[in-house]
Chains A and B, each alone.
Chain A
Amino acid sequence: MATVELKSIRKTYTSEEIIKGVDLSIESKEFVVFVGPSGCGKSTLLRMIAGLEDISSGDLLIDGRRVNDLAPAERGLAMVFQSYALYPHMNVYQNMEFGLKLAKTPEAERREKIMAVARTLQLENYLKHKPGQLSGGQRQRVAIGRAIVRNPKVFLFDEPLSNLDASLRGQMRVELATLHRRLGATTIYVTHDQIEAMTMADKIVVLQKGIVEQVGSPLELYDCPRNLFVAKFIGSPPMNFLPGTVIAASEEQARVRLASGQEIVVVAGGAQGLIGAAVTLGVRPEHVRLGHAVENRGSGQVELVEYLGSAAHLHVRMQDGALLVIQTEGGVRVHADDAVTFSFPAERCHLFNSEGVALHRRSSGRMAA
């Protein structure tokens, strides 16, 4: 399989820069997900790797070889499009055969490859069907089959699940992850859905406005978001943000006074220089603990409870008017208008300076809880 390397890749459309210098290296067999809000440039970046868009400056290396000026077909890639882009006048077999035919693969070999792929994807009974006669999930599989059959070095997926309904999307997510494990092909996957990113990726690349905000494993991004944008984007329901001021700091900890006057101790390094400065405290809904505590306490009134069965989301209005979402186990007996107290575990809180950059904790990676 293949490695992919991007070296200060830029894309400029008539004076406007869409991709502002992306550096990234993708290991062999890695499943990389580009994630970000719409218009962040993730699809453009993928299309540049595919060769469908010109690279304005920078180098794109596949297996160590510069491929900027190679035609899409010569780069050894296969792409699955959002609309699947199946050829409507060809049946399933012909759809998968088209690329092989153009590559002048002998007929017997073509048949063998297509049958093998059809078996893998359970498409054997549909080979004579036209795309118009297939369901969304089946079309998706044909599109994947058309990509696999050419045995590419790198797979590219452009929001492949966004046209499917929710239950089918969950099912295809599992199928894609399984398929990736079986084929072991380097894969680049673009999505705006952070759940797809979290569940499938070996490595997530968070993009915003043409800039890479953070690269890391799903858990790294979840535990140590580098800035407010990543913190907001990764995790569902999203992280709570509370404004405050640093009143004391040591090497490993900082004491923050919130707008409500409560003082919270946070594990965060390098806050000594920020005493007196405005900061943002971030805490995930699932990390806020309901009940009395000695330290890092907070209280408020429940405005709304969302019961999800396995969990419940409490929307709590704090005394200073800030809204906080708390996730608890599903069986909790709290109702709207109840007064609740809760606490913020110091090692689970995140601190962001006025520019939105996270203050790094001394030990990165998952905290011992």
Chain B
Amino acid sequence: MSAVTTASQHHRKAAIGAGASGALMLAPAVFVLLVWSVVPLVLTLWYSFQNYNLVDPTLHGFAGVNNYWYLLSDPDFLQSLLNTAILVIGVLVISVGGGTLLAVLYDQEFVGRGVARVLVISPFFVMPTVSALLWKNLMLHPIYGVYSWMMRAVGLTPIDWLQRFPMLTVMMIVAWEWLPFAVLILLTAVQSLDAEQKEAALLDGAGPVARFFHIVLPHLSRAIAVVIMIETIYLLTIFAEIMVTTAGGPGVASTNLAYLIYSRALLQFDVGGASAGGVIAIVIANIAAAFLVRAVARHLEV
């Protein structure tokens, strides 16, 4: 009996020792994480309640909720929220919809499939500023652009895409960058579909359309959920493409929340207002993340 007690006490002491030294080992990583994430968060929160404008140093001190009030009552802010939503949803629809179709297509046997797969994946490896410049100057420019040349060749007047449809154009450029990612993930998912399942469906009398909707699409649902989650996180913060192509314009026609915060802080030098925008962006991102994680978690259980 006593031997058992000593043994268990000894064990407990060892466990405590391991816990203490474990915490010690973890400390550097935890410290770095704190400095890198909590300090900026706290500072942003602090500035968002301050009058802090680099152009007007005379105005300073505690501002209460004024920064938030100005921001929320600004029509530009509503426009930027709307643009953010349009950009995220539009790119998701194009990349997931097109990605699913392309994944099924690239799963078929055809000559040159290997080369075609490399080509369809490659836009993902072009950095955002470069691809935005490519589209702006090489493809869509009203004078030198390839599309303009094509339109002139058939006798049409070239369209100045970035002036007339700024949001749509930005959306197309971003979708072009993210479609390969969706294809990549969904293609591997399509390939993991059991061949005998497809054959069983064939014997059950399912045609190509029924097979797609009843066998392939349910099989892809998890992968689609993962693609939506990852893309949403990145699409909420799209900045480089807008910066390079439209600079948020004309007016605020293509300004999303990330670009609005940038323009507040570094074009209007209103640090307080930009911080308030940052806090709102954090809240929105967290709401979106909560919904997504819940939806994905439901998909991941068998």
Binds A, one of B151-159, B211-219, B230-238: B211-219
- With A81-B196, A87-B215, A102-B210 as known contacts, state yes or no: A72 contacts B302, CB within 8 Å: no
Kindly list chain B residues whose C-beta atoms are within 8 Å of the C-beta of A51. Answer: 202-203
Interface of chain A, helix or strand or loop or mixed? loop
Q: Is B205 a contact partner of A89 (Cβ separation < 8 A)?
A: no
Give chain B interface residues in 173-228, CB to chain A under 8 Å.
Answer: 194, 196-197, 199-206, 210, 214-215, 218-219, 221
Q: Quick check: is A205 within 8 A (CB to CB) of the other chain?
A: no
Kindly list chain A residues whose C-beta atoms are within 8 Å of the C-beta of B203. Answer: 50-52, 72-73, 77-79, 99
Tally of A-B Cβ pairs under 8 angstroms: 62
- With A85-B199, A89-B219 as known contacts, state yes or no: A99 contacts B194, CB within 8 Å: no
Q: Is A87 a contact partner of B197 (Cβ separation < 8 A)?
A: yes
Interface of chain B, helix or strand or loop or mixed? helix
Q: Is A81 a contact partner of B206 (Cβ separation < 8 A)?
A: no
When chains A and B are docked, how far (Å) is the Cα of A72 from the Cα of B198?
Answer: 12
Q: Is A72 a contact partner of B202 (Cβ separation < 8 A)?
A: yes
Kindly list chain A residues whose C-beta atoms are within 8 Å of the C-beta of B197. Answer: 85-87
Q: Quick check: is A98 within 8 A (CB to CB) of the other chain?
A: yes
Kindly list chain B residues whose C-beta atoms are within 8 Å of the C-beta of A77. Answer: 203
Residue of chain A at shortest CB distance from B205: A73
Q: Is B196 a contact partner of A82 (Cβ separation < 8 A)?
A: yes
Give chain A interface residues in 91-111, CB to chain B under 8 Å.
Answer: 98-99, 102-103
When chains A and B are docked, how far (Å) is the Cα of A102 from the Cα of B205?
Answer: 6
Kindly list chain A residues whose C-beta atoms are within 8 Å of the C-beta of B206. Answer: 73, 98, 102
When chains A and B are docked, how far (Å) is the Cα of A130 from the Cα of B302?
Answer: 9
When chains A and B are docked, how far (Å) is the Cα of A102 from the Cα of B213?
Answer: 12
Smallest CB separation, A362 vs chain B (Å)? 47
Kindly list chain B residues whose C-beta atoms are within 8 Å of the C-beta of A73. Answer: 202-206
Kindly list chain B residues whose C-beta atoms are within 8 Å of the C-beta of A98. Answer: 201, 204, 206, 214
Q: Quick check: is A57 within 8 A (CB to CB) of the other chain?
A: no
Kindly list chain A residues whose C-beta atoms are within 8 Å of the C-beta of B302. Answer: 88, 130, 132
Kindly list chain A residues whose C-beta atoms are within 8 Å of the C-beta of B199. Answer: 50, 52, 72, 79, 81, 85
Q: Quick check: is A83 within 8 A (CB to CB) of the other chain?
A: yes
Q: Is A52 a contact partner of B202 (Cβ separation < 8 A)?
A: yes
Kindly list chain A residues whose C-beta atoms are within 8 Å of the C-beta of B215. Answer: 87
Kindly list chain B residues whose C-beta atoms are within 8 Å of the C-beta of A50. Answer: 199, 203
Binding site for A on B (CB under 8 A): 194, 196-197, 199-206, 210, 214-215, 218-219, 221, 302
Known: A50-B199, A81-B199. 17 other contacts (CB 8 A): A50-B203, A73-B202, A79-B199, A79-B200, A81-B200, A83-B194, A86-B197, A87-B197, A87-B200, A87-B201, A87-B215, A98-B204, A98-B206, A99-B204, A102-B205, A103-B205, A150-B204
